[in-house]
């Protein structure tokens, strides 16, 4: 029975996340935008609450909620952890994207662990705050070009290499590192490893100064003969050239809708604020009157809101498919592509509509316009999402459609 | 158009023009008038009379609200959509090119659609239909599936159900008993929901067509634009500004004095033989007013009509996507399929992404409407997306075929013309 409303039973969770976003995140949003690299200590007590939500099986806000539940429910329609996590993330990012990315124990590494770890690993890494380290100085989107190496030496892997753009890399307790077991084999040899920051050989080299999401630290990490137990490899240690990349890439099917959700939440914040400002200026949107018969600002707003709503629904759809164990690589990429480009367009247009009021630091609109840009870049750029969608629709391999 | 031609036959068989030596000039005039609009009386309508007495209007119950997010249509909806999709592929798509060129709906197409029962699930069981509950989502899925065949012919097929759905939802007991059984029967009357007017920045809530109160009912004056199958229609549901009360809808039978029709060919939707409906001092009874002239009823008709156009955009958009994929894979340039180029491939991705957005927003609004929840916002957003992105999809479809897309050898140029109707049209279809 087709219905695209937020599930009734998720309303308490959404309400909680909204309260937190408005009472914890928003009041400190500007403070940590200005104080780049300062640790938002206000988040510590709040993080405990989110842990509680996730442990209760409610899922909620943060990357650790994306594990695909193996317990069936008898074949009916499931509104599960993926949908709840996306819904919680939307609310939290309505508050502040960078602060959500700084939430203890809710890193993208946690999403990777949740997505691909076996039960033993899941138990052992419970409570860790894990960042994700894929990108290297010599590559970004081309993640098959990983040059960080992992060599088996007895019961341990020895890791060597340099990782950049590691979100929460300084604050996290551990980092999920992508490394190759054998560079000559290509994609199939790329595996991910949980590397605890306490181990010798892993160091944070420096933090980036950025356009936006300044409350979130972005680290450069060096691995110099860093040894981890072989049980820290996530997924299968076999180099299976048939299955290839699939293991590590699985994470993306779960995390891309999450990043799309961040974009949706941020876009909604900008739209709400703009509607308020426009209303004070005497302009209210009428949903029945033709757009072209309204004030140009109202017509523009309608167009932005339509893009927002499309991104919103694509995101819920991708998460719903994950909950119902339908393959969703294409839908995940579609949601990320639409939400990523829409949030940039929406936030920038909102500044334009609000004029100097929107451009000034007196308003959060200018900050949101800076924060939004990363959402069309990380977890796969706009162009990467388009490639994924196009290859699938056209039936093309990565060597045919480059 | 049908009646226009019938009237012409009558005139041309008259000995009068032969006697007067007017045969040649008259024939020439006919060719021109068919092309540019020939004004004729409205079609002769069947005698609509109540077949049974209803104590109260039959209403479809609101659809249930499961409280869960769900993208899966019901089994019944899946069966309906499958049937309609086959019908669209076998009957609409092959006929679309000629219908577009000739400005007419092919013979037999509408009766075959009526046999399928398209429209009958929006009519309550008491009045001979299959309807048990509101079916806005089903209507959307059906419109989408039909438009995958051809948008113009889909409009022709759906036009009568726009009127019957409105009567089922807002007609009083007498109106329902008089008209609805005919719509549930085998010989469904051609009928049209006439809202659009030929005016820049037209606002359906401010029609220029007027309704004045008379001792016995109302007198209507004005001109309606792009009315599907206007010359064949036996029944119109016409919007007019009711003095002192704002916009309202009136049931007008085509044979009423003062009703005339004129062909109104446009950029697209040509298979629907669009026409202008002229209302010149048209007197209708007090029972012709729909929904008691309630403003909210009028707003719902406008919203559901817009939603119908969103569904048509989704169907035609999908036709574009399904057409360009094999084309760009087979077309070779510079030694490889053009789909190996990002400039081409990314356009295909974007068609798919925006199309899915249009589809989801349309379904969201539909589900809210049939559950009795507010849906004005959702319709406005779906319409905005369907207007902007739907047109972009139409344009991208032609672009991907290059010069070939510009010719009538391929349907993409027709889809380009049809998709421009979305955002322009008001009325004609109803979700």
Q: Does position A90 have pLDDT exceeding 50, yes or no? A: yes
pLDDT at position A111, please? 87
How many cross-chain Cβ pairs, A to B, lie less than 8 Å apart? Answer: 168
**Residue A300 distance to chain B (closest CA, Å):** 10
Give the pLDDT confidence score for residue A44 in this predicted structure: 87
Residue pLDDT, tens place only, B368-426: 999 999 999 999 999 999 999 999 999 999 999 999 999 999 999 999 999 999 999 99
pLDDT band at residue B16 using 50, 70 and 90 as cut-offs:
very low
Residue B9 has what pLDDT? Answer: 40
Q: Give the model confidence (pLDDT) of A14-73 as tens digits.
A: 999 999 999 999 999 999 999 999 999 999 888 877 776 666 555 555 566 666 655 445
Say if residue A89's pLDDT is above 80.
Answer: yes
- Give the nearest partner residue to B353 out of A9, A334, A383, using CB atoms: A334
* Percentage of residues of chain A with pLDDT beyond 70: 92
Q: Which residues of A fall within a CB distance of 8 Å from B69?
A: 3-7, 79, 83, 316, 320
Strand locations in A181-242 (E): 190-196, 202-207, 218-229, 233-234
> Does residue B6 register a pLDDT over 80?
no
For A390, the closest of B303, B349, B366 (CB atoms) is B349
Q: Do A302 and B380 touch (CB under 8 A)?
A: yes
Tell the burial category of A70 from Cβ atoms under 10 Å away from its Cβ (0-12, 13-18, 19+). exposed
Asked if A288 lies within 8 A of B74 by C-beta distance, the reply is no
Residue B44 binned pLDDT confidence (cut-offs 50, 70, 90): confident
- Residue pointed to by tokens 């169907």: B315
For A364, the 3-state DSSP assignment is coil
Residue A251 pLDDT > 50: yes
Flag if B302 and A316 touch (Cβ within 8 Å).
no
What separation in angstroms does the CA of A334 have from each of A308, A311, B49, B311, B387? 14, 9, 53, 20, 20
Alpha carbon of A187: minimum distance to chain B alpha carbons (Å): 22
* Contact criterion met (CB < 8 Å) for B203 and A313: no
Q: Any CB–CB contact under 8 A between A334 and chain B?
A: yes
Given a cut of 90, is residue B4 above it in pLDDT? no
To the nearest 10°, report the CA torsion of A95, A99, A105, A107.
Answer: 100
A318 near B CB under 8 A: no
Band (B46; pLDDT cuts 50, 70, 90)? confident
Say yes or no for a CB contact (<8 Å) between B364 and A4: yes
| Cβ distance of A292 and B201 shorter than 8 Å | yes
Distance from CA of B287 to the nearest CA of A (A): 27
Residue B186's pLDDT band, with cuts at 50, 70 and 90, is confident
* Rounded (to 5) percent helix, strand, coil in chain B: 55, 15, 30
Tokens representing A248 are 């590590």
Mean per-residue pLDDT, B319-335? 98
CA of B74, closest CA in chain A: separation in Å?
A: 5
Smallest Cα distance from A275 to chain B, Å: 14
Structural contact between residues A299 and A394, judged by C-beta atoms closer than 8 angstroms: no
d(CA B306, CA B80): 22
The span from the first CA to the last CA of chain A, in angstroms, equals 40
Averaged pLDDT of chain B: 91
Tell me whether residues A306 and B137 touch, CB distance under 8 A. no
Cβ burial of B257 (10 Å; 0-12, 13-18, 19+) is: exposed
- Residue A130 sits at φ, ψ, to 5 deg, of -120, 125
Question: Is residue B330 packed enough to be buried (19+ CB in 10 Å), middle (13-18) or exposed (0-12)?
Answer: exposed
Identify which of B236, B239, B255 has the alpha carbon closest to the alpha carbon of residue B163.
B236
Q: What mean pLDDT do residues A254-281 have?
A: 96
Tell me whether residues A5 and B69 touch, CB distance under 8 A.
yes
Give the H or E element holding residue A180. strand A174-180
Residues of A in contact with B307 (CB under 8 A): none
User: Using CA atoms, how far apart are residues B304 and B300, in angstroms rounded to an integer?
Assistant: 6
A contacts of B358 (beta carbons < 8 Å): 310
Across the interface, of A1, A305, A338, the residue whose CB is closest to B66 is A1
**In the predicted model, is pLDDT for residue A79 greater than 90?**
yes
Work out the average pLDDT over A83-99.
Answer: 96
**Span A126-139, average pLDDT:** 94
Work out the pLDDT band at B208, boundaries 50, 70, 90: very high
pLDDT value at residue A293: 96
Average pLDDT over residues B197-216: 97
Determine the pLDDT at residue B17.
44
Q: A328-387 pLDDT, tens per residue?
A: 999 999 999 999 999 999 999 999 999 999 999 999 999 999 999 999 999 899 999 999
Listed in sequence order, the DSSP H helices in A207-295 are 246-280
Any chain B CB within 8 A of the CB of A390?
Answer: yes
Q: What is the pLDDT of residues A142-196, one digit of tens each?
A: 877 899 999 999 999 999 999 999 999 999 999 999 999 999 988 889 999 999 9
A307 and A345 in contact (C-beta within 8 Å)? Answer: yes
Contact B339 A302 (CB under 8 A): no
Domains of chain A: 8-124 (1.10.540.10), 130-234 (2.40.110.10), 246-394 (1.20.140.10)
**Chain B contact set for A400 (CB, 8 A):** 336, 340
Closest by CA position to A4, among listed B60, B76, B66, B81: B66
Whether residues B360 and A310 touch (CB distance < 8 A) is answered with yes
Q: B69 and A288: CB-CB below 8 Å?
A: no
- Restricting to A residues 335-354, those with a Cβ less than 8 Å away from any Cβ of B are 337-338
- Using the Cα atoms of residue A317, residue A318, residue A321 and residue A322 in order, give the sign of their dihedral: negative
DSSP secondary structure code for residue B257 in this structure: T
pLDDT in tens, B90-114: 999 999 999 999 999 998 999 999 8
Q: What is chain A's mean pLDDT, rounded?
A: 92
Check if A379 is active-site. yes
| DSSP per position, A98-142 | HHHHT-TT-SHHHHHHHHH--HHHHHHTTT--EEEE--BTTBSS-
Query: Residues 6 or more apart from B269 whose CB is under 8 A from it?
Result: B151, B152, B155, B226, B228, B418, B421, B425
Q: Report the residue of chain A nearest B64, measured CA to CA.
A: A1
B363 contacts in A (CB within 8 Å)?
2, 4
Picking from A390, A397, A399, A401 by the largest number of B CB atoms within 10 A of its own CB, the best residue to mutate is: A390
Using an 8 Å Cβ cutoff, are B131 and B125 in contact? yes
Token pair in block for residue A367: 């900050």
B396 neighbourhood in chain A, CB within 8 Å = none
- CB neighbour class for A120 (10 Å; exposed up to 12, middle 13-18, buried from 19): exposed
Which residues in A lie closer than 8 A to residue B350 (C-beta atoms)? 386
* Strand A202-207 versus strand A218-229 pairing type: antiparallel
Please report residues of B whose CB lies closer than 8 A to that of A334.
Answer: 352-353, 356
pLDDT at A68: 60
Query: For residue B284, is pLDDT > 50?
Result: yes
The DSSP-derived string for B151-172 is HHHHHHHHHHHHHHHHHHHH--
**Is A287's CB within 8 Å of B379's CB?**
yes
What average pLDDT does range A221-242 have in this prediction?
Answer: 92
B352 and A393 within 8 Å at the Cβ level: the answer is yes
Task: Kindly report each contact of residues B78-83 with a partner whose C-beta sits within 8 Å and lies 24 or more positions away, as own/partner.
Answer: B80/B121, B80/B138, B80/B141, B80/B142, B81/B141, B81/B142, B81/B145, B83/B116
| CB contact residues (below 8 A), chain A span 60-89, against chain B | 77, 79, 83
Average pLDDT of B274-291? 98
Q: What is the pLDDT of residue A59?
A: 53
Q: How many CB atoms lie within 10 A of CB B310?
A: 32
Write down the H helix ranges in B73-135. 75-87, 93-102, 109-116
- Looking at the complex, does the CB of residue A311 fall below 8 Å from at least one CB of chain B? yes
Chain A residues within 8 A of B367 when measuring between CB atoms: 2-5
Spot the catalytic one: A58, A136, A170, A379.
A379
pLDDT for position A243: 67
């Amino acid at each position: 029975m087709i219905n695209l409303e937020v599930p009734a039973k998720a309303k308490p969770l959404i309400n909680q996340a909204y309260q937190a976003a408005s009472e914890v995140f928003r009041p400190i949003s500007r403070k940590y935008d200005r104080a780049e690299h300062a640790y938002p200590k206000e988040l510590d007590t709040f993080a405990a609450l989110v842990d509680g939500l996730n442990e209760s099986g409610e899922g909620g806000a943060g990357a650790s909620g994306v594990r695909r539940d193996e317990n069936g429910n008898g074949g009916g329609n499931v509104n599960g952890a993926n949908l709840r996590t996306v819904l919680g993330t939307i609310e939290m990012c309505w508050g502040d994207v960078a602060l959500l990315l700084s939430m203890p124990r809710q890193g993208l590494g946690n999403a990777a662990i949740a997505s691909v770890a076996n039960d033993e690993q899941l138990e052992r890494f419970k409570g860790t705050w894990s960042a994700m380290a894929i990108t290297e100085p010599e590559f970004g989107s081309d993640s098959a070009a990983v040059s960080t190496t992992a060599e088996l030496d007895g019961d341990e892997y020895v890791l060597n290499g340099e990782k950049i753009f590691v979100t929460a890399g300084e604050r996290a307790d551990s980092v999920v590192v992508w490394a190759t077991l054998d560079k000559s084999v290509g994609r199939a040899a790329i595996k991910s490893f949980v590397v605890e920051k306490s181990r010798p050989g892993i160091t944070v080299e420096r933090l980036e100064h950025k356009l936006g999401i300044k409350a979130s630290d972005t680290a450069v990490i060096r691995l110099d003969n860093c040894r981890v137990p072989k049980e820290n490899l996530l997924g299968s240690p076999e180099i299976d050239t048939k299955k290839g990349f699939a293991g590590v890439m699985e994470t993306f099917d779960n995390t891309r809708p999450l990043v799309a959700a961040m974009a949706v939440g941020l876009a909604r914040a900008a739209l709400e604020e703009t509607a308020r400002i426009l209303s004070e200026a005497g302009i209210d949107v009428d949903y029945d009157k033709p757009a072209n018969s309204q004030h140009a600002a109202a017509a523009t707003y309608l167009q932005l809101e339509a893009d927002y709503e499309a991104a919103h629904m694509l995101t819920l759809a991708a998460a719903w498919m994950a909950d119902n164990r339908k393959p969703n690589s294409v839908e995940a990429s579609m949601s990320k592509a639409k939400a990523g480009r829409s949030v940039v367009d929406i936030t920038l247009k909102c500044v334009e509509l609000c004029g100097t009021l929107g451009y000034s630091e007196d308003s959060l609109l200018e900050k949101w316009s800076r924060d939004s840009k990363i959402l069309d870049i990380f977890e796969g750029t706009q162009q990467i999402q388009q490639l994924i969608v196009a290859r699938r629709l056209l039936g093309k391999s990565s060597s045919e459609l480059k | 158009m049908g009646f226009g031609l019938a009237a012409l036959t009558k005139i041309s068989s008259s000995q009068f023009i032969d006697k007067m030596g007017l045969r040649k000039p008259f024939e020439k005039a006919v060719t021109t008038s068919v092309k540019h609009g020939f004004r004729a009386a409205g079609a002769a309508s069947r005698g609509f009379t109540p077949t049974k007495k209803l104590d109260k209007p039959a209403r479809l119950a609101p659809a249930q609200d499961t409280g869960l997010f769900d993208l899966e249509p019901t089994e019944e909806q899946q069966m309906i959509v499958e049937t309609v999709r086959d019908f669209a592929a076998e009957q609409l798509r092959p006929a679309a090119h000629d219908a577009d060129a000739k400005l007419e709906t092919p013979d037999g197409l509408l009766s075959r659609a009526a046999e399928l029962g398209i429209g009958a699930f929006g009519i309550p069981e008491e009045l001979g239909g299959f309807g048990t509950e509101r079916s806005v989502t089903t209507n959307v899925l059906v419109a989408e599936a039909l438009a995958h065949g051809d948008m113009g012919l889909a409009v022709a097929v759906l036009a009568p159900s726009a009127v019957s759905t409105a009567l089922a939802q807002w007609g009083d007991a007498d109106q329902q008993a008089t008209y609805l059984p005919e719509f549930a029967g085998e010989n469904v009357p051609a009928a049209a929901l006439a809202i659009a007017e030929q005016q820049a920045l037209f606002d359906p809530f401010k029609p220029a067509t007027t309704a004045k109160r008379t001792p016995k009912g109302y007198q209507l004056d004005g001109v309606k634009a792009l009315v599907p199958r206007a010359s064949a229609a036996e029944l119109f549901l016409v919007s007019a500004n009711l003095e002192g009360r704002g916009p309202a809808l009136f049931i007008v039978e085509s044979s009423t004095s003062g009703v005339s029709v004129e062909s109104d060919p446009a950029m697209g939707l040509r298979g629907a033989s669009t026409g202008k409906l002229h209302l010149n001092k048209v007197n209708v009874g007090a029972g012709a007013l729909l929904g008691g002239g309630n403003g909210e009823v009028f707003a719902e008709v406008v919203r559901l009509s817009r939603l119908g156009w969103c569904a048509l955009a989704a169907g035609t958009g999908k036709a574009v996507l399904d057409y360009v994929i094999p084309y760009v894979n087979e077309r070779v340039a510079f030694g490889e399929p053009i789909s190996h180029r990002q400039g081409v491939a990314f356009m295909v991705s974007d068609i798919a992404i925006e199309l899915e957005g249009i589809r989801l927003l349309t379904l969201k609004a539909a589900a809210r409407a049939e559950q009795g929840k507010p849906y004005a916002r959702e319709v406005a957003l779906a319409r905005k997306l369907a207007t902007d992105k739907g047109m972009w999809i139409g344009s991208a479809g032609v672009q991907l075929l290059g010069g070939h897309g510009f010719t009538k050898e391929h349907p993409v140029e027709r889809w380009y013309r049809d998709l421009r109707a979305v955002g322009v049209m008001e009325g004609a279809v109803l979700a």
